[in-house]
Amino acid sequence: MMEQYQQIKDQYPDAFLFYRLGDFYELFNDDAIKGSQIMELTLTNRSRNSEHPIPMCGVPHKAVKNYVDILIDQGYKVAICEQMEDPALTKGMVKREVVQLITPGTQIDTGAENAKDNNYLTAIMSQDDGESYDLAYVDLATGQLQVTTLASFDELTNEIINLQTKETVLPAEINLEVTELLNKLGILISHNANQEVNSATSYLSQNIDSEGQKAVLAQLLEYVRATQKRSLDHLKKAVAYEPNYFLEIDHNSQYNLELTKNIRTAKKSGTLLWLLDQTKTAMGGRKLKQWVERPLISRDAISKRQEVVEDLLNHYYERNQLTDDLIKVYDLERLASRIAFGSVNGRDLIQLKTSLEQMPKIRHALDSFTATSLKKLSRNIISVDDLVDLIEQAIADEPPISVTEGGIIKDDYDKQLDAYRDASKNGKQWLANLEAQEREITGINNLKIGFNRVFGYYIEVTKANSSKVPTERYQRKQTLTNSERFTTPELKEKETLILEAQDKSQSLEYELFVKIRDTIKESIDRIQQLADIVAQIDVLQSFASVSEEYRFVKPELTKQHEVKIIAGRHPVVEKVIGHQKYIPNDILMPEKTNILLITGPNMSGKSTFMRQMALTVIMNQIGCFVPAESAVLPIFDKIFTRIGAADDLISGESTFMVEMKEANNALQHATSNSLILFDEIGRGTATYDGMALAQSIIEYDHNNIHAKTLFSTHYHELTTLESELPELKNVHVGAVEQNGELVFLHHIEDGPVDKSYGIHVAKLAGLPSSLLDRADTILTELESEPTKTISANVTPTPTEQITPAPIDVKDQQMSLFAEQSLDENDEQVLHALRHLDLMGKTPMQVMNQVYRWQQKLNKETSD
């Protein structure tokens, strides 16, 4: 047996081998040692008395899924090795083989908590130029299969992160940087050198023209075929797509805007997806996530979705009936995959029947609306009455989970099955009659007829009544401590008939179930078509429900280069803090206003205002209504953000380097139809460096890109650019001082802010009062001289470098000591001040140095 085990294990060295032994799956050697720790199992030994005992642990076959899930969730592979023969009918070693290799990317049953998430397995191949890549991905649970070509490594990185894939299939040779990227992201790498194009692969890729895309599809599908070892009839034909078919949002922007994942908790709660999700089906939930991640850029497609949302909003009672029908629809996509895989059970088929029974009701509900798009969807809800009738006639209303132990097929469906059941039922009645008869003949009142799998049917008599047993008819079968078990010629005869009927009945039931499953399998395309329509309807009704609940409005789509949002809100923040507390703001950017330069104190709401703009754009372009009193919006092609301050743990780069790379990405790829959000660009370096970079970026955007841009800053000197850059407008977040306390108004007002209120914010953070008083004194001294600003460069070229104008440091230094005569110690301080590298110091470093000088001067004065 161990030789057989090792031969199979050698074929799957990178997987845990679950080796079937009777009612258990066993793990041996290193698998057992490591697996027992991960799954918290007791580690034992086989051949423990030998010189080299074999470590082993095991799990019951009925509970295997829970243990497999534990390993898969931690990024491991599991090979399921089954007994391929009945041990009772086999002489010698039972044949075993791996029937499925389960991996993080091929896991199908991910649990109810993940029902609204896709699980993508990806494959990557580099093209001959070494710079572009072909990428394919599949969700085995839903049958979704897509392929694309990405022009650069950055595009590949963005797509891999956005797909949230757990496993990627690579060819034997690929760029080292791809492998390094996947390792840094914690994505399992699997290799597959075989790119065989068989008939199934050809069918699934028949709509693909690119040879590179066909090759990566072959690599992906061959890996799936090799690991799953079963039918893949539920896979849909591959669809080729380009990222620029949709509103492009890179993974950093998706992260910063918290579209699907909360920055603090990494959960769905607190995201745009969380706000919009009032879907009633798992299919709708997955479709909503896909729409949020890939908003549209087609004006016509956006208008059609919003037309449907408006129609649903205007028909409250009809919409409620529609949602009631949707609630009863189970996950048709995943049911179809289980049917194709052969893992569907009787309860799954009842769920399928219940779901398909809702289709005529959903179609009837849609016919009551007026939107053209809804009527088109209604016409595409095809009849599936034949499947409903088949399941209704064949499958028991409450079938068992097992498909091999009987009780799954209804009476009157098959005559032969009915005959077996009748024999079994009558046999049991005959046993009951025999028991009563023997009690009367023998006078043993507690005589009973029982059954076990080893001895079959028997007559049991307690030892106290053994003297009453008619030995001429009773034949002893088994002796127990307190009783004796017997049989009779009549009982043996009936036993044969009853057991034969039961065995044949169960075998026939399974055969019938398989035929029913295969019949339904022929209609997988129809089931998947219905699933897609139901998912779309579900998302659109969710948009209508959310829009009604939170008072969203239908935006006006304009072909002009203008944004006019009246009383706009950040929908997620508003939901969290409550409508009454949220202060709405207008966002007005006419045709010739492309940059809003936003100033205001920290914590006042600048970042929220900027995110609000982006979320409004995204909601519009997924077809939802938007959080405002009214909105006029163009169609944006890309969104770029630089919000927040954090090092990039993947690349190991500092905050400032990440900031510059993200800024460069926007400036290199943005168009006049893009939206750019820059939050305090330049704060990660020295003051004058940061100010110079911030101004240069604003000027470059203004003169070369003309994208709609929201740029927040603490460099108040930049507000003078309004007079020199005609497309730039100053706005600020209002704040007032009341009795020495800072009160945020959270309202956007025209013009620049008059001061930063930094010390007030520090006070709100709870810094010591003595520290705050000292900071206030230093601030007064630093503000005693007028600040010189840099004149705007209004006609820069992409290669120009802008540097700050020279500042007369000596004059500013002298003003600090103008009111006192200089002695030798003063001269030392002044000398140090002259040679201070202001450009290389942060404001806090300068402040600390000034404080030390002041302490020195004060000490000398007191002396």
Q: Which residues are annotated as a binding site?
A: 600-607
Spatial distance between the Cα atoms of 835 and 707, rounded to a whole number of angstroms: 42
The answer to whether the beta carbons of residues 374 and 366 sit under 8 Å apart is yes
Give the DSSP letter of residue 111.
Answer: -
Spatial distance between the Cα atoms of 710 and 192, rounded to a whole number of angstroms: 47
Residues with Cβ < 8 Å from 473, sequence gap 6 or more?
488, 489
The answer to whether the beta carbons of residues 26 and 78 sit under 8 Å apart is no
3-state SS, 559-621, equals: CCCCEEEEEECCHHHHHHHCCCCCCCEEEEECCCCCEEEEECCCCCCHHHHHHHHHHHHHHHH
Structure tokens at 850: 């000034």
Spatial distance between the Cα atoms of 310 and 541, rounded to a whole number of angstroms: 10
Spatial distance between the Cα atoms of 326 and 539, rounded to a whole number of angstroms: 11
Tokens 């039931």: give the residue: 509
3-state SS, 14-41, equals: CEEEEEEECCEEEEEHHHHHHHHHHHCC
SS3 725: coil
Structure tokens at 82: 């089954």
CA separation, residue 380 to residues 487, 533, 766 (Å)? 65, 8, 62
626 burial via Cβ count (<10 Å: 0-12, 13-18, 19+): buried
Q: Give, for 749, the enclosing helix (H) or strand (E).
A: strand 741-750
CA separation, residue 300 to residues 292, 295, 296, 624 (Å)? 18, 13, 10, 14
The bridge status of strand 188-191 relative to strand 556-557 is: unpaired
Q: What is the CA radius of gyration of the chain?
A: 37
The answer to whether the beta carbons of residues 61 and 20 sit under 8 Å apart is yes
Structure tokens at 608: 């929220």
Spatial distance between the Cα atoms of 758 and 776, rounded to a whole number of angstroms: 10
C-alpha 141: how far from chain center: 14
Spatial distance between the Cα atoms of 401 and 420, rounded to a whole number of angstroms: 22
Spatial distance between the Cα atoms of 125 and 695, rounded to a whole number of angstroms: 41
Spatial distance between the Cα atoms of 555 and 544, rounded to a whole number of angstroms: 14
Spatial distance between the Cα atoms of 770 and 773, rounded to a whole number of angstroms: 5
Binding residues for ATP: 600-607
Distance linking the first and last C-alpha atoms of the chain: 93
CA separation, residue 71 to residues 79, 97, 228, 509 (Å)? 11, 21, 17, 35
